[in-house]
Structures are given as structure tokens and as C-alpha cells.
Structure 1
Amino acid sequence: MFEITRSTYYAHRLRRRSPGVERIRLRSRVNELFTQNRSAAGSRSIVSMMQEDGEQIGRFKVRGLMRELGLISKQPGSHAYKKATVERPDIPNTLNREFDVPEPNKVWCGDITYIWAQGKWHYLAVVMDLCARRIVCWALSGNPDADLVTKALDMAYEQRGKPQGLLFHSDQGSQYGSRHFRQRLWRYRISQSMSRRGNCYDNSPMERVFRSLKTEWIPSVGYLSDIEARLGNRAKAAQVVGNFNNLIMMRVRETATAELLTKQLPKVDIASISPMSSATDSSDPHGRTAFTSSSMDRITTTSVPLLEPAHIVALPKGQAFALLEGGTLWKLRMPLPIHEADADMPTDLRTLAEQMRSQYSNDTPTWHGETDDHG
């Protein structure tokens, strides 16, 4: 009927049932790259990454492999925005979509977005340098007020070494038009520019940042806590939250200092057993019972401090009390340094931190509130 031989037909069916080893390898690589990019990479991005690794493959083949694996990029679709031309009379649109800035610290952009964390909305204010499209600083708060955007501006201004001749561009949000924020711009000698009302294209670099943040980084169900929202990593957030319940108490000289530590400790109930006995004479002179007696144990509880200030003052050298996991008290014994020079012992805390940072590895990228890059 189709003018093909029987062997050709069965060979075609066999190829469809059992994919080759090479195709299985490519499918595994595509799935790995898709997972590493937080399910945000499409066929174009995966083709570019595979070709950079020396893989000879095209976009249509990658698209077919993604279809076989059921991988769908979570990039949002297009959206129709209305065109607006109304400027604010006192703050014009000075930038006028001139987003190509040749030098750093000449034009900054800012905007606010909302993030669901810990069962409520949190608000993120971001400051970006248009030269390299890099985030300078950000601030997170539970209130979308002028203090939030001012805090982000203060951090960026200090981080970049108090630059001069700046232009700050934002939308017509009430926070950026408030007296508090405009006074801070005046103090820093920063000029202000605002988008036209309801025109997101006038501040499109910031809109693009928030789109990538919400589609590629933030979980679809939000964050469990505001700390996780700040760090962008659930494992690190759990570690930080656990540290909040830990308290290390070393030897101090002053009793007042020791009281500051012991006041943070919970009180414990001490149970004590007191034996009690009693005897009563019989009121019947003709009865067989001359008296009655009884004995019992009375249990009483007393609330006492977990540690007294004197316990911390009297600690021997090299020992400390540690309250771990919110309620378990431990006594630590730390090795004392020897007088001879030790090549393996760090000279100071900075050197120790650098050694720990060089040995620490984590494949998950993390957001930082501040960056040292000036470009």
C-alpha cells in the first residue's frame, strides 16, 4: 500500500520502541540543564549551553527532546499593556528610555515588588545600575512605605562610595514621590526622573528584573519565612533560624554582664520529695485501736534559673555553656592554644573566615543585598 518493504516497516517500529544510547545521553543532558536553570530555560537557551560544551546539536532536536521529557519552560507569555503619556509635572521623565548608559554610577533605577513569605506579603525595593544592569542594593520589609525605598537608596549610596552626578529613575509610586524620599535625594545631590503614569516601558529594565525573579527564582508557593526570602535558599534559612535558638556563654568578669546572659535563659522546675508522717490517738478508751499513724511523700516544684550569674563568672578558662536547639544546655570544653607557633593555626578571625569560605561549596546561587561590583 505504501510501497515499502516489510523489513523497513518493522525496523522503523523497533527504532521507535528502543531509543539509541546517544539519544538517551542527550535527553539526560537536556534534563540536567533544565533542572540547573530552575525550569526557566527554553530550547534556545539549552542549545546555546550545549553548543558551548562542544555538543553538535540544533534547536529543533532539543525541542523534540524536551517534548519527550515533558519539560515546559515557565517563562510567562506576552502581555498587552496600555500606552500612557501623562508625566508628573514636578518630576519629568528625564531618562526617556535611554537605557544604554556608558559609565557606572550615572543612572540608577528603582522599583518595588511584593513577595509572599511567612503567610503574608513582604515588599522588596531594588536599586539597579543601568550601566551593567546589575543590582546595587535591595531592602525587604513588611510595609511598602517610604522608609523601605529610602533604606535601599542609603545602602546603594554608601556601597558605591557616595557617587556624584547621579540620576535616579523610577515609576510614579507614592513611595518615590514622598517628601521623605525626595529629601534624601536632595541631600545626596541626586536628580530624579519618573516614568509616565501607568507606562511600564519607561522603567522596563526593572520590570525585567522582577519578571526573572518571580518566574525563575521565587517558589510558586512563596517562602516559608522572611529569612528564606532574604537568602533565597531554604537550607540556609533553616540554618540561620536554628542559630537564633543557640546561645554561647563564655567566662566574663562582671556579674552584670553575666546577668545579661542568664536573663535570656528559661527557668526550670525542680521537683523535691518531702516525707511526711502523722499520728492520732484514739478517742475511744475501750476500743482496740490506741492510735493511728500515716506516712506519705509530698512532691513540691520550685522554679529556679537554669544558670546563675556566678556560674558564668566562675567558669574555668577554655570552658563555656551552650544553649542549643532552644533548650538543651551543654558545657563545652575548648582546646587552649599552645605557646609555640603553630603553622596550622589561623592568625586572626579574618584568616579563619577566608579559609572556611574557600572550602565551602554550594551549587545553588544566592541573592545578596549588596554587591562590591561597580560595573
Structure 2
Amino acid sequence: MKYELIEQHADQYDIRLMCRVLVVHPSGFYRWRDCPSSPREQRRDQITSLVRDTYEEFEAAYGAPRIARELNEQGYKCSINYIAKIMQEQRIVARNGKAFNYGGHALTMHNVADNLLWRDFTTERPNQKWVTDITYIWVENQWLYLATVMDLYSRKIIGWSFDESMTVELITEAMQMAIDARGVSPGLIVHSDRGTQYRSNEYVGYLERHGIKRSMSRKGNCWDNAVMESFYARLKVELIYAKNYQSIEAARSGIFSYIEIFYNRKRRHSANDGVSPVEFEERAAIAA
């Protein structure tokens, strides 16, 4: 999916810059474009993506030994040396000396929900299926965190929150914004990954009080939430890297404009017959 996104924007942005933003090697992109990748290359690309996701999930605190252990726990067999080499190539370095105490629950995977979505990203009407996730954005020498909620019906971002901490409050604020904007329809499903925030008792209880069904991706499987992953990839290529924000407020303002003005109201989406999410919903309402 990352290679496809790079190819789609090759006439707008420098390929090497997009590869750097999406954390892939230019040589890998060119190999993918020119010929099918081998099973070995496909596995390396998969593990590289998983390494990056695990590194970000644990706030840059994990080095190769812990990342290797985490991936092996998830069923991806790999050695510490293999992970260390990938981290070196990707310039991923753990924040030595900064401890982040997540407690024992980080690996026990409590409050895991069944995968109700099963990669079926189609819906017949609004408010049947929402997807949500968190992404990391590097601004002013620190990580910032963006949580978003998308309605799969039109691919519209209906809730989002941006802050300096990756907390339960961050994802709850994004979800509350979505609920305030759309309400909760009977049978509504909200799909996420297995991040610790989405498995917290506080967040689980919050969704239950609103009568929302939870759905979760399988272990280490980013493709189960591919639509949201694709949105974040576009956001980073089209906004974050292009603007290279130097302050938190500038980044916040830029993200607001991108989501609320450009993406939701202007950007054409292939899943919407080539129109923006807002226009797609307006047309559907008129036709109903």
C-alpha cells in the first residue's frame, strides 16, 4: 500500500522524500515498481512495518531486544540481530534513559475484541462502521499524537484529537467529537488496532455506555485497518512533510485545515466515485 501511494503521487513529490516519510527504501519501491518482489523481500517489508509500528506504540522506548520479543509474542519469528539490522537501516533508535512504565498489561492483551469488520470496508449507509487509530507526528523535537475517527460510508473524518500525550483521553476526545457530530446508530461498530489505549477499561466502558460494538484487528495486522492507515499515509505525504512544521500550534492549525477543509470537503476520493466525502454524503442524502 505504501508503494502504491508513492506511485500515485510521483508526479507531485520527490520519490526519495516520500520514501523517507513513509519509512521505506527507494530501492524497494523501484523493485516493486519494476518487478514483483520475492517472498523474502515481502517478508522483510512486512517485518519492517511491524518494527516501526511497535517502536511507535511503545513511544520509542523499545530497542531491538524488546521489539523482537514483542513480534515473536505476536507470532512473527525473528531474531534480535535481524530486528537490529532493520532498525539501523531505518534509523530507528530507542530513547535510552527515558523510561515509560506501561505495566504488565502491555503484553497480556486484555480487553481484546473480536474482529467484526474482517476487512469489509463497505457500508450501505452512514454510521454503520467507523474506524479509528492514532498516528505519530514529529514536531519541534518531540512526538505529537493525532487520533482520528472515520466513517467508512464516505471516508469522512468525523472526529479527531491532537495532543502531546498518547492517552485514553486523546482517543476518547476524538470519539466524543464523532458521537456529537453523528450520534450513535443501532449496531454501530467501531474498529481499531490492539493498542493499549483502545483496550483500557476506561475506553471500553465509554463505548459500552454509548451502545457501540468494538472490533479489533488481529495481532500485528495493519491491513485489518488499512483504510485508516492509508489516510495517515496521505496526511503525512500531502501535509506533514511538505510543511515541515516548526511549532505545535502551526501543526495543529495545519491539521485542522487539512482535515476539515481540504480532505473532508475538497479532496476527491476514489471510493466515493471521485468526489469528496462531504459531497458524497450530500448527493446520497438528495438521492434518498
TM bin, normalised by shorter chain, reads 0.5 to 0.7
- SS at 2:123 equivalent: coil
Note the aligned Cα RMSD (angstroms).
3.3
- Contact preservation (8 Å) 1:137, 1:371: no
Structure 2 match to 1:96:
118
CA distance in 2 between counterparts of 1:112 and 1:228 reads 19
- SS at 1:213 equivalent: helix
Alignment gaps of 5+ in structure 2: 1-7, 20-28, 33-41, 51-73, 77-108, 266-277, 282-288
Amino acid at match of 2:193: D
Residue 191 (structure 1) aligned to one of 213, 225, 229: 213
Residue 10 (structure 2) aligned to one of 42, 45, 58: 42
Distance 1:207 1:167, change over 3 A: same
List per-residue Cα deviations over 1:72-97 (Å, max 9, x = no partner). Answer: 34543477215978997841111111
List per-residue Cα deviations over 1:274-300 (Å, max 9, x = no partner). Answer: xxxxxxxxxxxxxxxxxxxxxxxxxxx
List per-residue Cα deviations over 1:48-81 (Å, max 9, x = no partner). Answer: xxxxxxxxxxxxxxxxxxxxxxx73454347721
Amino acid at match of 2:126: P
CA distance in 1 between counterparts of 2:112 and 2:196 reads 14
CA distance in 2 between counterparts of 1:189 and 1:89 reads 16
Structure 2 match to 1:368:
260
Aligned length: 181
Distance 1:166 1:102, change over 3 A: same
CA deviation after TM superposition for structure 1 residue 112, in Å:
0.4
Distance 1:111 1:72, change over 3 A: same
- Contact preservation (8 Å) 1:101, 1:130: yes
CA deviation after TM superposition for structure 1 residue 224, in Å:
1.8
Normalising by structure 2, we get a TM-score of: 0.55
CA distance in 1 between counterparts of 2:116 and 2:231 reads 21
Distance 1:184 1:366, change over 3 A: same
- Contact preservation (8 Å) 2:158, 2:178: yes
Equivalent residue runs for 1:143-292 within 5 Å: 143-219=165-241, 222-232=244-254
Structure 1 match to 2:53:
none
- SS at 2:150 equivalent: strand
Note if 1:108 corresponds to 2:130.
yes
Structure 2 match to 1:132:
154
- Contact preservation (8 Å) 1:167, 1:193: yes
CA distance in 2 between counterparts of 1:176 and 1:146 reads 7
Note if 1:72 corresponds to 2:14.
yes
Amino acid at match of 2:225: N
The structure whose residues are more often strand, as a share, is 1
List per-residue Cα deviations over 1:289-320 (Å, max 9, x = no partner). Answer: xxxxxxxxxxxxxxxxxxxxxxxxxxxxxxxx
CA distance in 2 between counterparts of 1:89 and 1:229 reads 33
- SS at 1:197 equivalent: coil
Distance 1:95 1:162, change over 3 A: closer
- SS at 1:210 equivalent: helix
Distance 1:161 1:91, change over 3 A: closer
CA distance in 2 between counterparts of 1:182 and 1:72 reads 42
Note if 1:81 corresponds to 2:49.
no
Normalising by structure 1, we get a TM-score of: 0.43
CA distance in 2 between counterparts of 1:107 and 1:180 reads 21
Amino acid at match of 1:203: N
- Contact preservation (8 Å) 2:111, 2:201: no
CA distance in 1 between counterparts of 2:184 and 2:151 reads 14
Distance 1:85 1:129, change over 3 A: farther
- Contact preservation (8 Å) 1:157, 1:163: no
CA deviation after TM superposition for structure 1 residue 191, in Å:
0.2
Distance 1:72 1:366, change over 3 A: closer
CA distance in 2 between counterparts of 1:222 and 1:122 reads 13
Amino acid at match of 1:366: Y
CA deviation after TM superposition for structure 1 residue 182, in Å:
0.6
